[in-house]
Each structure stands twice: as structure tokens, then as C-alpha cells.
């Protein structure tokens, strides 16, 4: 009875004892029991299923991309609010109520998200980071157009159409013709590199 109790205690201690530098658990007896191997497999499998952290050299570029996208989104929101407030002051039929102005800003912000959607995916390689930095041209253009065209006459349908095409149209068309091919190119090159090194 005493021997069985000591064996159970030893197995419990083995489940909590980890060998430094390896993903396996060590038993006090020096060998590896069935319980140790099962616990080790569970631990390693859980670690493999978790998201791999970004490499330290990639993190500064990742922070720059996120901050750049935040600035562009703020500029789009600001331009939309300027356009909406000027339309409300001019008595535009679509901005009869003041609460429609911030709603229009949020609507415009949501409509230009394709320009930044694929850029939110973390890049884990130098090539991916380079393609993301090139892709920042699109949200920059959208933000610039939103700030430049918000001063047009809000009662003129031509100016309203120009604002929509220069922001929403550019965002969607640019994402489909620029970001999506860039993503596919990165995937293909990564697969070829992996196949070459294998």
C-alpha cells in the first residue's frame, strides 16, 4: 500500500517537472514514463496550436504599419465630418439632422476599409513587410482624397460623386487590383522558397 502511494506521488511530481530546453517532462527516476510522454505531447501540441509570436525585427515595422493605418483612418473620418458638417450647414436634403453627420463619418470609414483590410494581416517575413509598406500607398491616397475633396460644394452632385469615387471607389478597386495580387504573389513566393529549402 505504501509502495503504491509513493508511486502515485512520483507520477504526479513527474507531470509538473519540466526538463529545461526541451518540450518533454522528466520523471524523478531518470526515465520517462507513459504519463510523462502523454503530458509532454499535450503540452507540445497546445504550444504548436498557439499563434507564433512575431519576430523582434518584424515588430517595429508592424507597429509602423498599424500607426500609419490609424492616421489614415483618422484623416478619412475628419474629411467625412467636414463634408457632412458643410452639407448640414448648406441645408443639404440628405443632412437635415445634425446626428447624420457623425453617422456619415462612420459610414465612410467602413466603406474605405478594403484599402487597409489586408494590411492588418501580420507580415512575418522581410518580403511580406516590404509588400505591406508598398501597399500603404493606397490608404494614403484615399486619406489624401478625403481631405482634399471635402471642401467642395456639398450641394453639387458632381462634387459628391467625385468624393465617393476618389475614396470608396479607389479603396475597393485598389484593394482588388493591388492588394489581392500582392498577397497572392507573397504566398506563391513563400511556397517556392519553402519548396527550394526543403
Cell numbers at 175, concatenated: 484593394
List C-alpha distances in Å: 1 to 5, 11, 34, 105. 6, 16, 22, 75
∠ CA 56-58-62 to the nearest 5 degrees?
120
Cell numbers at 91, concatenated: 441645408
Cell numbers at 105, concatenated: 463619418
- Beta bridge partners of residue 84, listed in sequence order: none
Query: What is the residue-wise DSSP string for 1-21?
Result: -HHHHHHHHHHHHHHH-B-TT
- How does pLDDT run across 35-64, given as a tens digit for each residue? 334 344 444 444 444 556 666 666 788 889
Half-sphere exposure in the Cβ direction for 77 (13 Å, CA): 12
Cell numbers at 67, concatenated: 500607426
Model confidence, pTM: 0.68
Q: How far apart are CA 102 and CA 104, in angstroms?
A: 5
What number is the average pLDDT over the span 13-39?
A: 43
- Beta bridge partners of residue 25, listed in sequence order: 18
pLDDT at 129: 84
Helix residue ranges per DSSP H, 90-136 = 100-111, 114-117, 126-135
Cell numbers at 163, concatenated: 468624393
DSSP code at position 25: B
- How does pLDDT run across 120-176, given as a tens digit for each residue? 888 877 888 888 889 999 999 999 999 999 888 888 888 888 988 999 999 999 999
Amino acid at each position: 500500500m505504501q509502495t503504491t502511494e509513493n508511486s502515485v506521488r512520483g507520477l504526479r511530481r513527474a507531470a509538473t517537472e519540466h526538463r529545461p530546453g526541451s518540450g518533454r517532462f522528466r520523471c524523478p527516476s531518470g526515465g520517462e514514463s507513459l504519463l510523462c510522454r502523454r503530458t509532454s505531447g499535450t503540452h507540445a501540441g497546445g504550444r504548436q496550436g498557439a499563434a507564433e509570436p512575431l519576430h523582434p525585427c518584424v515588430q517595429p515595422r508592424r507597429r509602423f504599419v498599424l500607426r500609419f493605418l490609424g492616421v489614415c483612418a483618422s484623416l478619412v473620418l475628419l474629411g467625412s465630418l467636414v463634408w457632412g458638417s458643410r452639407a448640414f450647414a448648406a441645408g443639404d436634403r440628405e443632412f437635415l439632422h445634425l446626428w447624420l453627420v457623425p453617422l456619415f463619418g462612420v459610414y465612410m470609414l467602413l466603406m474605405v476599409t478594403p484599402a487597409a483590410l489586408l494590411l492588418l494581416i501580420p507580415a512575418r517575413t522581410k518580403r511580406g513587410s516590404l509588400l505591406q509598406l508598398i501597399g500603404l500607398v493606397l490608404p494614403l491616397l484615399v486619406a489624401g482624397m478625403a481631405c482634399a475633396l471635402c471642401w467642395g460644394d456639398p450641394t453639387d452632385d458632381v462634387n459628391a460623386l467625385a468624393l465617393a469615387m476618389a475614396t470608396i471607389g479607389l479603396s475597393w478597386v485598389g484593394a482588388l487590383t493591388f492588394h489581392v495580387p500582392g498577397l497572392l504573389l507573397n504566398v506563391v513566393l513563400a511556397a517556392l522558397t519553402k519548396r527550394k529549402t526543403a
